Structure 1
Amino acid sequence: MASIVFVPKESTSGESRVAVSTDTVKKLIGLGFDVSVQKGAGLESRIPDEEYAAAGAKLVTATGAKTADVVLKVACPTDAEIKTYKKGAVVIATLDPYSNDKAIAAMAKAGISSFAMELMPRITRAQSMDVLSSQANLAGYRAVIDAAHEYDRAMPMMMTAAGTVPAAKVFVMGAGVAGLQAIATARRLGAVVSATDVRPAAKEQVASLGAKFIAVEDEEFKAAETAGGYAKEMSKEYQAKQAALVADHIAKQDIVITTALIPGRPAPRLITKDMLKAMRPGSICVDLAVERGGNVEGAKAGQVAEVEGVRIIGYNNVPGRVAASASQLYARNLMAFFATLVDAETKTVSINTEDELVKATLLTHDGKAVHPNFGGTATDGGA
């Protein structure tokens, strides 16, 4: 009897994405698995039930989780969901391990093997599995679209018989995947774009997209990047110098997009109320870090707030605002990783704890929390 892969309709509030596409359903079946998809799971991602059925999936209710050998999700399962999973089941999702200690403990107690997709190492082998990059790419794009929607002026320069409309000035703070896509999108819409980042490598990337780079380029700046390519937390002295430079620059901007996140820590505060007060009334800030406390003072998760005459966009789950595209990319990331876990002969999931991808992403296994960074005591692992 073939192993069963179950894909639920996401129960987390505001989660519009789904973990499989029709293409990845076909690939899962090709690997020898039976695929069950909860009815309505893909509707918000523009994948109707009929398309899943045509791809070979069985349409089921939420009770399909009880017999599943593998559960593929977008968000971390709730306590109620975990209680329906059978012992030994494999769960793969974005588990947000920094904020879900209870869920990790519950999955360990239930004997579930759980993998956190966002802990995928940034190595060549895992590029096709990098959910952080695929989803951040769309978040950067959507941030500019949301800003343009709230901004009550034109983005590009327009020359008309009645006079010239100047181009909007857009400043992007953080030139990672989301920031670079925000720069590219704002440039496509005709804005004059500048950007900042604490990583030296970002300067060339920003310039390659036609934007101006803004940073205090001292010795600390030159060493401000981890081996994994993430930004380091900067000293108080550097932060003060950078804040002064940024404050002067922000006062001249129409739209500011912030993307700064440090894994496992609250988002750094980049923009204060005093900086907002210096901006022109009607200016826009988009805070892509609002779910981690926010880069912008006064930002409110899930809302468009107004502070000192500036509208601060703080939408949650920004990739989910482009759900159809986000689900397609997430499904491909998930499929690329899942295929590495499948034993071709037995057509079942085989977890090799010595594999570098497994070491980095496995949170719970054999009734224990096994990741050394998240409640585990194991020594063979780490992100």
Structure 2
Amino acid sequence: MPVIAVTRERRPGESRVAAVPETVKRLIAAGFSVIVEAGAGAAASYPDADYKAAGASLAKTARDALAKADIVFHVRAPEAAEIAALKTGAIVVALLDPHQDRKSLEALAKKGATAFAMEFVPRITRAQAMDALSSQANLAGYRAVIEAAEAYGKAFPMMMTAAGTVPPAKVFVMGAGVAGLQAIATARRLGAVVTATDVRPAAKEQVESLGAKFVAVEDEEFKQAETAAGYAKEMSQEYQAKQAALVSDHLKKQDIVVTTALIPGRPAPKLLSAQQVASMKPGSVIVDIAVEQGGNVAGSRPDQIVEAQGVKIVGYANLPARIAYDASALYGRNLAAFAGLLVDKDGKLAPDFDDEILKAALVTKGGAVAHPALKG
């Protein structure tokens, strides 16, 4: 019976946990044994008693949990002490941030761990239940609008009162991927007038289906601006200049902007310059979801609210951790689905490294970095 260990996240600001009592039950029913470090779920409001009731064994320390673990589930990469405590050849599955967190990647390789990065799970039909980027981005988009509402000094919906009418907030969402679409839907539910932009042609229909207006320069380059995997391509300087002019004019009329643009393995593209931020009305709010990867907005700072000429730039890193209960539940389900690929039909630990999902997500194996995009 393969043993899965879940330990407490130790990185600053990380309140999620890699398994919840519901997913522990699923894993045990699938033939795994589960060990959970005491207190692992406390920050996400999952008490030890619930894990025990679900069938997990509780370990006093991370080292105790890891000593017998064939598989380790984590949210972020384990820290150095945990990597040192791994069994040689143990399997680690986490959001490893392999492009940026090279130190952890190399430590896992040196330890002889077989590591899978959940960010690299391919976006194919078979892997939808394992798509951790989407599950977490969905909640990040929701939370971004909640944070905007908190920072904004006015109401979101139109209100008609005996004392007069309160106009609705105007919300502009930049980037209509999973996070952006959820931000649109949330802002609409709160009663805002919503517009959105994206360089991918397919996004227009999605934006409009949510009741928002699409804003973009729709030329020939725009029509070819999407990769086969569904990500936005980097646009030419000429297109960027035309789009920037359109956006600059639109920004002056907005109350709230949510930026969500990310390109896998690269720094976040800059969407708003200091001049564009300064052109917005005093009291306006910008939420930069991409702040952890360098930010979409000039002047945004991780885990800070920066005020620039009366405009608040909210740069909370790791928005899913600010809604840790639900984020943990969704991520735990992603991992539970992934766990099924690590065993054979008899329930024995036997990952098929030729499987297209495992092959895409594998980052370290046999003492070396294994993913082609990470070598060198």
TM-score relative to the length of structure 2: 0.98
How far apart are residue 87 of structure 1 and its match? 0.2
How far apart are residue 191 of structure 1 and its match? 0.3
How far apart are residue 96 of structure 1 and its match? 0.4
How far apart are residue 3 of structure 1 and its match? 2.7
Q: Match for residue 142 of structure 2? A: 141
How far apart are residue 351 of structure 1 and its match? 1.9
Q: Which amino acid aligns with 1:161?
A: A
Cα deviation 1:70-115 (Å, max 9, x = unaligned) = 1100001122211110101000000001112222121111110000
Q: Quick check: 2:341–2:358 contact (8 Å CA) kept in 1?
A: no
Of 333-342 and 160-169, the range deviating more from structure 2: 333-342
- Tell me the distance in 1 between the aligned counterparts of 2:104 and 2:187: 39
- Tell me the distance in 2 between the aligned counterparts of 1:97 and 1:344: 31
2:85 aligned counterpart, secondary structure: coil
- Tell me the distance in 2 between the aligned counterparts of 1:32 and 1:258: 42
Q: Match for residue 381 of structure 1? A: none
- Tell me the distance in 2 between the aligned counterparts of 1:3 and 1:263: 32
Q: Match for residue 350 of structure 1? A: 350
How far apart are residue 340 of structure 1 and its match? 1.7
Q: Match for residue 45 of structure 1? A: 44
Q: Quick check: 1:273–1:308 contact (8 Å CA) kept in 2?
A: no
Q: Quick check: 1:167–1:191 contact (8 Å CA) kept in 2?
A: yes
Q: Quick check: 2:341–2:352 contact (8 Å CA) kept in 1?
A: no
Q: Quick check: 2:148–2:285 contact (8 Å CA) kept in 1?
A: yes
Q: Match for residue 116 of structure 2? A: 115
Q: Match for residue 380 of structure 1? A: none
1:257 aligned counterpart, secondary structure: strand
- Tell me the distance in 2 between the aligned counterparts of 1:69 and 1:29: 14
Q: Quick check: 2:176–2:203 contact (8 Å CA) kept in 1?
A: yes
- Tell me the distance in 2 between the aligned counterparts of 1:24 and 1:348: 19
Q: Match for residue 12 of structure 1? A: 11
How far apart are residue 310 of structure 1 and its match? 0.4
Cα deviation 1:219-271 (Å, max 9, x = unaligned) = 11000000000000111111111001000000100000000011111111111
> Runs of 5+ in structure 2 lacking a partner?
none
Q: Quick check: 2:109–2:366 contact (8 Å CA) kept in 1?
A: yes
Is 2:340 the counterpart of 1:367?
Answer: no
Q: Match for residue 235 of structure 1? A: 236
Q: Match for residue 310 of structure 1? A: 311
2:287 aligned counterpart, secondary structure: strand
Q: Which amino acid aligns with 1:270?
A: L
- Tell me the distance in 1 between the aligned counterparts of 2:11 and 2:349: 26
Cα deviation 1:41-96 (Å, max 9, x = unaligned) = 11111110000000011111212212211110000112221111010100000000
Q: Match for residue 95 of structure 2? A: 94
- Tell me the distance in 2 between the aligned counterparts of 1:154 and 1:46: 30
- Tell me the distance in 2 between the aligned counterparts of 1:33 and 1:367: 26
Is 2:268 the counterpart of 1:267?
Answer: yes
Is 2:24 the counterpart of 1:25?
Answer: yes
Of 58-67 and 279-288, the range deviating more from structure 2: 58-67
- Tell me the distance in 1 between the aligned counterparts of 2:116 and 2:238: 39
Cα deviation 1:278-298 (Å, max 9, x = unaligned) = 111010000000011111111
TM-score relative to the length of structure 1: 0.96
2:373 aligned counterpart, secondary structure: coil
Q: Match for residue 35 of structure 2? A: 36
Q: Quick check: 2:344–2:351 contact (8 Å CA) kept in 1?
A: no
Is 2:79 the counterpart of 1:78?
Answer: yes
Q: Quick check: 2:341–2:351 contact (8 Å CA) kept in 1?
A: no
Q: Quick check: 1:31–1:344 contact (8 Å CA) kept in 2?
A: no
1:348 aligned counterpart, secondary structure: coil
Cα deviation 1:111-143 (Å, max 9, x = unaligned) = 100000011100000011100110000000000
Q: Which amino acid aligns with 1:36?
A: I
How many corresponding residue pairs? 374
1:83 aligned counterpart, secondary structure: helix
- Tell me the distance in 1 between the aligned counterparts of 2:101 and 2:351: 23
Question: Where do 4+ consecutive residues of structure 1 move more than 6 Å?
Answer: none
How far apart are residue 216 of structure 1 and its match? 0.5
Q: Which amino acid aligns with 2:341?
A: T
- Tell me the distance in 2 between the aligned counterparts of 1:273 and 1:29: 52
User: What is the percentage of aligned positions where both structures have the same residue?
Assistant: 62
How far apart are residue 343 of structure 1 and its match? 1.7
RMSD: 1.0
How far apart are residue 366 of structure 1 and its match? 1.7
Q: Match for residue 327 of structure 2? A: 326
Q: Which amino acid aligns with 1:368?
A: A
Q: Match for residue 3 of structure 1? A: 2
How far apart are residue 318 of structure 1 and its match? 0.2
How far apart are residue 148 of structure 1 and its match? 0.4
Q: Which amino acid aligns with 2:133?
A: L
